Structure 1
Amino acid sequence: MTRPNIRVETDGGVAVVTIDAPEKLNAMGRTFWPELRAALARLEADGSTRAVIITGAGEKAFSAGGDITSFAALSDVAAKREFQQDCMRTFAAVEESSLPVLAAVQGYAMGGGCELALACDVVLAADTAVFGMPEAAVGLVPGFGVLRAPSVIGRQWTKLMMFAGERVDAQTAREIGLVQKVVPAAELMASARKLAERIAAAAPLAIATGKQLVNRGVDRGEFDHSTAALTTLHATADAAEGISAFTGKRPPKFEGR
């Protein structure tokens, strides 16, 4: 049997969802996306969960992003499109959950890991956290990040992170709005739980309604456009070269085709 990508622990009204692949820096494999959606659906339906914390196992990473080797296994355009749609459905499930979802970020939050933080309602970061969206290095773009990051951190910061693979430390991430609280690494989970418990103590319908109203301006109609663009990029020679170079641990040679 395939090992689960996540584990869920509940205590009172707070659930902790842990991305559980520390040996791979919590990289997100192909089965991660439906697993996270299913876990959120169960928590929304259980009647007792009032707040969710998403974090990564170990101390090195929240998530290093998508598992590049799983990208390489996508053989045709239909499979690439379905994969991109699967990712988008999961980011939407986090963003649109009736439950407040907090990210507790330690270490690297790269690519899909940074995008997952963008989808959460509040982000707490350890002082060791590092954020980035380096997909251009393998011939791709962060499909959800290009849609959501501009409204969170602004267009220019989004472009800097996307074009140049700029990495952002925890303090800078707080200054640009990607992170709301920075705490010492040893205090991260305790701080996240304390905040989650404060939120869980509030009226759940008020929290759900407030979240829905704040998110009212979020345009999900753009998801299809992003999915189509990512599917096209995924089928290019540049993407094939970028993925091959990454898995082969060599510099890529892009030709713009």
Structure 2
Amino acid sequence: MNYKNILIAQEDTIVTITINRPEKLNALNRVTIQELHHAFSALEPIKEIRAIILTGSGEKAFVAGADIAEFADFSVEEGIQLAAQGQDILFNFVENLRVPVIAAINGFALGGGLELAMACHIRVASENAKMGLPEVSLGVIPGYGGTQRLPQLIGKGRALEMILSAKMVTAEEAYRTGLVNHVVAQEELLSYCNEIAQKIIKNSPVAIGMAIHAVNANYKEGENGFETEIKSFGKCFGTIDFKEGTQAFLEKRKAVFTGE
């Protein structure tokens, strides 16, 4: 598929997706959300793809927010549908992807941009990055999971302060509170994310997918994370990767995982 607003590049088993709307500071509109959904959907089943890096074009913004012009005149029903569909096809979808997604936050990550970064499994920010959920300054609240994921990452009190004051935080403050995993120089951002991806791809893709599922289970209503972990742990015993991993350990050699 030819994409209008995203770029995809692959190097061996690592794919980089770049949101490419620099004139709009990579703001998320409906077309971009659909394209991202299509890209993630197409990439996930490919066994050779072991990690995905998500970033924005340029040095100013990862994603500066949602495209406000698209929904400024929406009704209550349209607003509900906008949030529900977006969460379903992109934000929740990314969070539950079996392939690890690393957000390379290269500048502003505001509103839907920060929500997208929080849906990723790992976050790395450039030193110039600034993050926030400014929706209340527009008379609305975060609708793509921000009120749920931000407290999970930084705690209820800090999350409420950020959301209610609509303030932006620096990369250093985001690191200090646990919002991002690492802060690096702008020019080192993608290479640093690639280093993390290189460490990930050495391990079993099956086990990685199971681990993501088990960790996410703790935050899902009606699901017992410990039970999910037990069942996922057991399922690993029936995989080729488990047999290869344990055999390689006993034979004192590097495992060659196939993702089966």
* TM-score normalised by the chain length of structure 1: 0.82
More deviation in 80-89 or 60-69? 80-89
The amino acid across from 2:132 in the alignment is G
Please, which runs of 5 or more residues in structure 1 have no aligned partner?
222-257
1:84 corresponds in structure 2 to 83
State the alpha-carbon separation in 2 of the partners of residues 132 and 189 from structure 1.
Answer: 22
Helix, strand or coil at the partner of 1:190: helix
2:225 corresponds in structure 1 to none
Does the CA-based 8 Å contact 1:53-1:104 persist in structure 2? yes
1:165 corresponds in structure 2 to 166
State the alpha-carbon separation in 2 of the partners of residues 135 and 39 from structure 1.
Answer: 27
Matches within 5 A, 1:87-98: 87-89=86-88, 90-98=90-98
Helix, strand or coil at the partner of 2:9: strand
RMSD, aligned α-carbons: 1.5
Deviation at 1:157, TM superposition (A): 1.1
Does the CA-based 8 Å contact 1:29-1:67 persist in structure 2? yes
More deviation in 178-187 or 31-40? 31-40
Helix, strand or coil at the partner of 2:85: helix
Matches within 5 A, 1:59-208: 59-72=59-72, 74=74, 76-89=75-88, 90-143=90-143, 144-208=145-209
Q: Which has the larger radius of gyration?
A: 2
State the alpha-carbon separation in 2 of the partners of residues 125 and 22 from structure 1.
Answer: 18
State the alpha-carbon separation in 1 of the partners of residues 213 and 155 from structure 2.
Answer: 22
Deviation at 1:8, TM superposition (A): 1.4
Does the CA-based 8 Å contact 2:3-2:35 persist in structure 1? no
State the alpha-carbon separation in 2 of the partners of residues 123 and 3 from structure 1.
Answer: 25
1:76-118 CA deviation, whole Å, 9 max, x = no partner?
4443222111211111011000110100001100001111111
State the alpha-carbon separation in 2 of the partners of residues 71 and 4 from structure 1.
Answer: 20
The amino acid across from 1:7 in the alignment is L
The amino acid across from 1:80 in the alignment is G
2:254 corresponds in structure 1 to none
Stretches of 4+ moved more than 4 A in 1? none
More deviation in 157-166 or 95-104? 157-166
2:56 corresponds in structure 1 to 56
Does the CA-based 8 Å contact 1:53-1:101 persist in structure 2? yes
1:6 corresponds in structure 2 to 6
Does the CA-based 8 Å contact 1:124-1:183 persist in structure 2? yes
Deviation at 1:131, TM superposition (A): 0.4
The amino acid across from 1:146 in the alignment is T
Please, which runs of 5 or more residues in structure 2 have no aligned partner?
223-260
1:55-86 CA deviation, whole Å, 9 max, x = no partner?
00000000001001111253x44432221112
State the alpha-carbon separation in 1 of the partners of residues 221 and 35 from structure 2.
Answer: 21
The amino acid across from 1:79 in the alignment is E
* TM-score normalised by the chain length of structure 2: 0.81
Of all paired residues, the percent bearing the same amino acid is 37
* Higher RCO, Cα 8 Å, sep 6+: 1
Does the CA-based 8 Å contact 1:34-1:86 persist in structure 2? no
Deviation at 1:197, TM superposition (A): 1.7
The amino acid across from 2:64 in the alignment is A
The amino acid across from 2:185 in the alignment is P
State the alpha-carbon separation in 2 of the partners of residues 82 and 34 from structure 1.
Answer: 15
Deviation at 1:3, TM superposition (A): 6.6
State the alpha-carbon separation in 2 of the partners of residues 21 and 10 from structure 1.
Answer: 20
State the alpha-carbon separation in 2 of the partners of residues 35 and 73 from structure 1.
Answer: 24
